[in-house]
Structure 1
């Protein structure tokens, strides 16, 4: 027979465990506690193993008797920061014992003691963990809503930390938590959308999470090391609340083992000073992350918290704008003399866009109006009497009206939640919003109501042995009214109580101002559209002149329109800022003269043309290039063109176009539209100069563009090759894809692009060994392979892929260089930075039949 316990045992018993007074540390670090005069009070027994100095045997002695003077000086200097309110101080790479072995050190104050923790720095590479944080945070901003941001955060933290599973765990008002986002190894089970009872994280653990932002459990099988002596002469144990090496509760260890976890890391997500949630990181095997990288993880979590606050503020501002717009429209209607009853439909429509509800009712001057799921008039009269007993001049809100007003039983099939706005004094009139019952199917990770089970750790809760999904149906409750709902309701209540007629003139004036601004925008848009239509009309009309047939006409017209389009594309890529002249020339050559680009010799420095001049010169250079390709120097293999770029002292720009080695030139008998563009565009549009000469040796042209249209290119700029203008395949598909890339952000972006292109699965690897393991386990349809992987190259992977016949492409920032072609098996080259279209093209090339 089991002996009766002296108290009831249920989920709350975990709260009794003194997890901050366990008197042990984990094996990845050692601990020493000293007094203010640097006498050793406590030390962990593994100091001899970690530091090589048995400080546990030196309790009662001076720390200076055991550590070098340089180490003590460094520790004393950093410890001064604790006097300024810092919870802890960190030192990375400290040669603590004077033998050249670096340690990461944490210092904090616990009561009257100062606690020093030492972790042996295992990795001595030149990585910069902090540099990875900001790019990952930038990706979080692209997430839509809290869940979208949380999903990006889970992906980013997994990439940063190396854990095989990262969950974003959000706390509810009742203390339970839900996994709202998850990034995991495909072989692991998913916990996404599961809810965990509040008792899974006891109250004292939550407080520690709030005070200490990161908690690492490197190995669940680590027995740890005792801190000796356990208590001080006053009988008080050392408080390890802020200790980074603090050992783990046996109950929590058993809990993790039940989940199949070999190592874990919890990172707090604070929101306005409160514990909003956690990053829960799990690994299938032991995993130690050094203190410097854990610091980067802490920074990542803090920045994520700031992004949450910003997203919440943005949502509040958006809700305020919506509510303000509703307020203005209602006031305009009500101030025109219509009463609330006459404005019922408009009022209901406006509120539907501000506060979500299933039913709407208005009770004014003894009349009852309703819409949607709402009580009948007879049922509402009883509810109105109940609402009259509530506090005056305040809104009333509940998500379970039957618990407050038993008479609601009669309409529980239509309404469970009530939000009531009193809009008069006595007798009270009301606007009431109703929400119907939401039978919440809650997927619990285990039974939230499970009580006692005898376990190996005394009369305490043993964690669940399985994670079966229990369903709890929450009856008679609606979706809760949020703080934003209540603020909007209060704003509306105040609005309807105030005398608003005096605000009518101001509202009308504001509307007039908005209308005038809209009319100006419409007029400007009409102006721009008419200019574009006029330009197209002119191109159509003039391109017809001299055309021999429809094909030649459409060819000319298409070439000119495409020239304008390419120039516009280059400008819009730069957000309509000045763009490179050399890039413009390169685009035209690449688009129309395949293989002839090498016969254009551009001399002189690159310059930037402002958008107006850029578009004008795009047509001019298009006509010069196409004319030369048809009749001039570029129409024969031996011909070449010299383009001179000559900046003038006054800031103007002179451009010289000289054709050599082409057929003999004869002056045209008549001026066509192309010649007119060359001779007239720059003088007419830019008030510059243009001169075109038809010499026997070749066409020569000279242009002057005024200084106001020209800007010097930055001194450190490099002429960029024209964009790849090959035709993008209509469709390309590959099922399983592997991305081998050592930069986190590039790897994640490539994975997103490939998923968008239809890849069913996308795995990533950052090095040769990891990629080889993945290739051993799975067959891939396509591999995107970065050439340089940190301190190694991907050549062994490429050779294996070529031998196994797996299609692949090489990604590199060096372009199609001879070195890559010489040392790698044949494969398409993808130049960084790349776009989705570029990836699509190299995939099509790699997957094409050979």
Structure 2
């Protein structure tokens, strides 16, 4: 059988380290051995070169063999457990093998089960010591107040448990720059507490592995890596060691630790809400190995820290939240009328910017600016707000470093780098501002020199001497209780503004209503004038014309003058009819009569009797269906409506055929389930369908006065009558064939 190693030989340097596949090095640390088993066959397909140092068997004799042929005990139950979804990533246990006590760790990686073994020893007092250390965790809750105090206590406990020279709690910011948040160390060592480390120290793929695998140990920084081997027929190219205890670390990281003078490390991930919050970083300045039990105890302490993060942060923010809510309550408790002056009253109170510990606040409401405190000048404010409004069209925007996000030539972003912006609606908004704070950050070495160049090429920085950097163009960050207080006030202001605008709208409507009443009164006066002052002269004109036309010889009126007097009389008659129709049209709105049940068939019989002379003169025939409905209405108005429609049918008759008018219930109409539909159909000249809406407009005519007499009010009058009856009217026509007028009465 032929064998080959699976070492990843891609060349790694500081220019491509962020792409380094650190989870598949094909190498392990030498203080333990590793074998990998195919899940389906239980055949060993990977083995570390150094297995003979632990089990007195060569890797060449292991590869291709069943797993149970290697050990003096059966792994079947453990292999079964690790394949079941129990929520445990790893299984750990101790077993004697080849006369040695070994600590085993088993985990699954894709279709492979990885078994790792390390030599260990029984320490009689260790179990009790670790139990007592774990039990003390609960006392930390009572003994510490802040998150920082808790981290210091946990760091002290971990140093006592592990014996490392230095134990640090390392906390990340949003960009994954790190800060030594708590530290316990040997007295002779230089303190790292408060130092910051650039995000480049821990590249993205390393952070991803910290989330996946919560503990990583390097017992001897200067170890010589051990190769992993497979056999040719296994078809295995790489092995994912993301969860491995023994995984060999990046050579760049080893160089980094050597530059720091560190001999051994232990790192435990601190996860909060699924993200990497920080690390427990233990340094020793010689070699150091820990038992599985000690490692698990350190992990437990890490879990305890992360379980307390939210509680401690809430405790620390309680006072801020209390003060902010007092400011909000003071503002929202004001009894304010729904007028613009109420907004100004709010902005007269310092609480409006103190509620979120800002330097000033500005609101734009109804084309007016309201300000309090230190805010941008009005000529600069517009460009600032324009940036915020365009920011992904969000209703909320929060930042403490605006100059790093945007650029404006007027310098307003540098003057006010902190902003808390809320839209009240599409136009109005409120924004709180903060001025810059000059912050001094002490780095462990110059962050701009995280990569150094020497005769050997690029390497991690060698200097970790404190380096101070003054950061400007940023404000204090907005804390959660401050944001919540601003949001709470924003909702109150939003409600107040809506009420003010609604109240103003009601006032405008009231004024418009009063103006409309005044106009209607004037129109009624015009109607009165029409009734009396206009009709009287018209009657006199017609009477004088009639006198002259009855005996033209007596008044020596020539034929030409007779014709002119005749035209004058007809014009006066048309004008009288127009005035009368206008009065009838206006009278429709003023009628307040109660509705009565109307038998439409009986109404049509009466109408036909009333106009039989007109029908006879025009040679017209009416065909009235007996299935007409009973409707609710004002009888004289409905009668007038029908008479106007019939009058139009007679007026607009087709010259070459007798008039036929049909009145029936249109049950096929699409709205017949909701309305009684009465159709009045004629065979007259009809009209183009494009004019079906125009004919209902007052004074609207489709034909000239010379062709057909009329005022253009008839169908407009009908439309008004139908609206008064909560119905409507519709017309359909075909040119030279006829028209159908449908009346819709609610059922």
Normalised by the shorter chain, which TM-score bucket? 0.5 to 0.7
Paired with 1:405 and 1:118, the residues of 2 have a C-alpha distance of 55
1:106 aligns with 2:108: no
Please tell me whether the aligned partners of residues 137 and 153 of structure 1 are also in contact (alpha carbons under 8 angstroms). no
Give the CA deviation at 1:313: 4.8
Give the CA deviation at 1:53: 3.7
Paired with 1:10 and 1:67, the residues of 2 have a C-alpha distance of 40
1:64 aligns with 2:65: no
**Which ranges of structure 2 fall in alignment gaps of 5 or more residues?**
1-10, 500-747
Residue 25 of structure 1 aligns with which residue?
Answer: 28
Residue 441 of structure 2 aligns with which residue?
Answer: 442
Aligned to 2:190, the other structure's residue is in SS state coil
Query: What are the residue-to-residue correspondences of 1:376-775 with 2, within 5 Å?
Result: 376-384=377-385, 387=388, 389=390, 394-402=395-403, 406-407=407-408, 409-411=410-412, 414-423=415-424, 425-426=426-427, 428-430=428-430, 432-450=431-449, 453=452, 461-498=458-495
Aligned to 2:437, the other structure's residue is in SS state coil
Residue 126 of structure 2 aligns with which residue?
Answer: 127
Give the CA deviation at 1:501: 12
Inter-CA distance 452–323: structure 2 relative to 1 (3 Å threshold): closer
Please tell me whether the aligned partners of residues 179 and 191 of structure 1 are also in contact (alpha carbons under 8 angstroms). yes
Give the CA deviation at 1:209: 0.7
Worse overlay, 45-54 or 169-178:
45-54
Paired with 1:199 and 1:279, the residues of 2 have a C-alpha distance of 18
1:169 aligns with 2:170: yes
Give the CA deviation at 1:314: 4.8
Q: Deviations for 1:637-660, whole angstroms, at most 9, x for unmatched residues?
A: xxxxxxxxxxxxxxxxxxxxxxxx
1:349 aligns with 2:351: yes
Aligned to 1:339, the other structure's residue is in SS state helix
Residue 152 of structure 1 aligns with which residue?
Answer: 153
Residue 510 of structure 2 aligns with which residue?
Answer: none
Inter-CA distance 363–88: structure 2 relative to 1 (3 Å threshold): closer
Inter-CA distance 199–403: structure 2 relative to 1 (3 Å threshold): closer
Give the CA deviation at 1:311: 2.4
Paired with 2:38 and 2:390, the residues of 1 have a C-alpha distance of 62
Inter-CA distance 9–447: structure 2 relative to 1 (3 Å threshold): farther
Residue 43 of structure 2 aligns with which residue?
Answer: 39
Give the CA deviation at 1:230: 8.7
Give the CA deviation at 1:483: 4.5
Paired with 1:232 and 1:474, the residues of 2 have a C-alpha distance of 59
Paired with 2:335 and 2:408, the residues of 1 have a C-alpha distance of 34
Give the CA deviation at 1:181: 1.4
Give the CA deviation at 1:331: 1.8
Paired with 2:383 and 2:139, the residues of 1 have a C-alpha distance of 54
Give the CA deviation at 1:424: 5.4
Paired with 1:368 and 1:60, the residues of 2 have a C-alpha distance of 80
2:18 aligned to which of 15, 23, 34: 15
Tell me the TM-score normalised to structure 1 length: 0.52
Paired with 2:123 and 2:132, the residues of 1 have a C-alpha distance of 17
Inter-CA distance 313–216: structure 2 relative to 1 (3 Å threshold): same
Aligned to 2:133, the other structure's residue is in SS state helix
Give the CA deviation at 1:235: 4.8
Paired with 2:65 and 2:393, the residues of 1 have a C-alpha distance of 69
**Which ranges of structure 1 fall in alignment gaps of 5 or more residues?**
1-7, 503-850
Paired with 2:424 and 2:69, the residues of 1 have a C-alpha distance of 78
Give the CA deviation at 1:208: 0.9
Please tell me whether the aligned partners of residues 216 and 245 of structure 2 are also in contact (alpha carbons under 8 angstroms). yes
Please tell me whether the aligned partners of residues 219 and 289 of structure 2 are also in contact (alpha carbons under 8 angstroms). yes
Give the CA deviation at 1:243: 0.9
Give the CA deviation at 1:500: 11
Q: Deviations for 1:170-223, whole angstroms, at most 9, x for unmatched residues?
A: 111112211111111111111122211111111111111111101010111221
Q: How much is the aligned-residue C-alpha RMSD, in angstroms?
A: 3.4
Aligned to 1:449, the other structure's residue is in SS state helix
Inter-CA distance 393–416: structure 2 relative to 1 (3 Å threshold): closer
Give the total of aligned pairs: 485
Please tell me whether the aligned partners of residues 140 and 153 of structure 1 are also in contact (alpha carbons under 8 angstroms). no
Paired with 2:385 and 2:209, the residues of 1 have a C-alpha distance of 47
Residue 247 of structure 2 aligns with which residue?
Answer: 246
Give the CA deviation at 1:482: 4.0
Inter-CA distance 102–385: structure 2 relative to 1 (3 Å threshold): closer
Paired with 1:469 and 1:232, the residues of 2 have a C-alpha distance of 54
Residue 359 of structure 1 aligns with which residue?
Answer: 360
Residue 308 of structure 1 aligns with which residue?
Answer: 309
Please tell me whether the aligned partners of residues 103 and 120 of structure 1 are also in contact (alpha carbons under 8 angstroms). yes
Give the CA deviation at 1:315: 5.5
1:330 aligns with 2:331: yes
Give the CA deviation at 1:250: 1.6
Q: Deviations for 1:745-796, whole angstroms, at most 9, x for unmatched residues?
A: xxxxxxxxxxxxxxxxxxxxxxxxxxxxxxxxxxxxxxxxxxxxxxxxxxxx
Aligned to 1:84, the other structure's residue is in SS state coil
Tell me the TM-score normalised to structure 2 length: 0.59
Paired with 1:240 and 1:132, the residues of 2 have a C-alpha distance of 31
Inter-CA distance 436–164: structure 2 relative to 1 (3 Å threshold): same
Aligned to 1:229, the other structure's residue is in SS state strand
Give the CA deviation at 1:339: 1.1
Paired with 2:156 and 2:135, the residues of 1 have a C-alpha distance of 14
Inter-CA distance 381–41: structure 2 relative to 1 (3 Å threshold): closer
Inter-CA distance 384–95: structure 2 relative to 1 (3 Å threshold): closer
The structure having more radius of gyration, on CA atoms, is: 2
Please tell me whether the aligned partners of residues 14 and 199 of structure 1 are also in contact (alpha carbons under 8 angstroms). no
Paired with 2:498 and 2:381, the residues of 1 have a C-alpha distance of 31
Paired with 2:205 and 2:389, the residues of 1 have a C-alpha distance of 42
